[in-house]
Amino acid sequence: MMSQPWRVELLGGFSLARSGEHITHFRTRKVASLIAFLVLHPQRHSRDALTDSFWPDADFEAARASLRVALSHIRKTLGTDFLDTTRDTVGISAAFTCDVTDFVRAVSAKRWTDAAQLYRGELLPGFWDDWIVAERERLEASFEIVRQKTDAIEPVPYVSFQE
């Protein structure tokens, strides 16, 4: 039997949900950041690239150990079928949908109202990884366009203050 896809929400907060299970807390921010990175970049990643990105100040062995611990925690929290790992690579094997992906698609398709409804706030508030800040700024710029377009579609009602 095929399990339901995960719903990943990264705008305005961080949560994963599937079949009535709702997860909002992870062992560390680093684990949460790693999950978000893998969701937003769903291709396979080399373990070396991930360790360089997420543990840049650690020596090679310590960084690899930290990655192994983080992946172990992800498996314990989200199930063994969430990740597809090999000796050299890491990727997500679980089916999922993501609010960021849905937002980007809505913007690309010029579905302004849909995009406005999907944007529940900034990407991963409280996270300051370089890659998150860059992505957050890109999404905020897209949302500003959405706001301009939706204001043009649905102008603010005129309110008369005369009696």
Domain extent listing, the chain:
6-96, 99-153
Look up the CATH architecture of domain 6-96.
Answer: Orthogonal Bundle (1.10)
pLDDT, mean of each 10-residue run, the chain (163 residues): 86 95 94 98 97 97 98 96 96 97 98 96 96 98 95 61 49
pLDDT at 163: 46
pLDDT at 128: 96
Cα-trace Rg, the chain: 19
List the structure tokens of 88. 């050299």
Burial class from Cβ neighbours inside 10 Å (0-12, 13-18, 19+) for residue 108 reads exposed
How many angstroms separate the CA atoms of 7 and 33, rounded? 16
Residue type, 41: H
pLDDT at 39: 98
pLDDT at 97: 97
**Nearest Cα to 39, choosing from 8, 78, 62?**
8
Q: 3-class secondary structure for 90-130? A: EEECCCEEEHHHHHHHHHHCCCHHHHHHHCCCCECCCCCCH
pLDDT at 3: 75
- The helix (run of H) or strand (run of E) holding residue 97 is strand 96-98
The owner of tokens 């310590």 is 62
pLDDT at 91: 97
Beta bridge partners of 35: none
Helix, strand or coil, per DSSP, at residue 83: strand
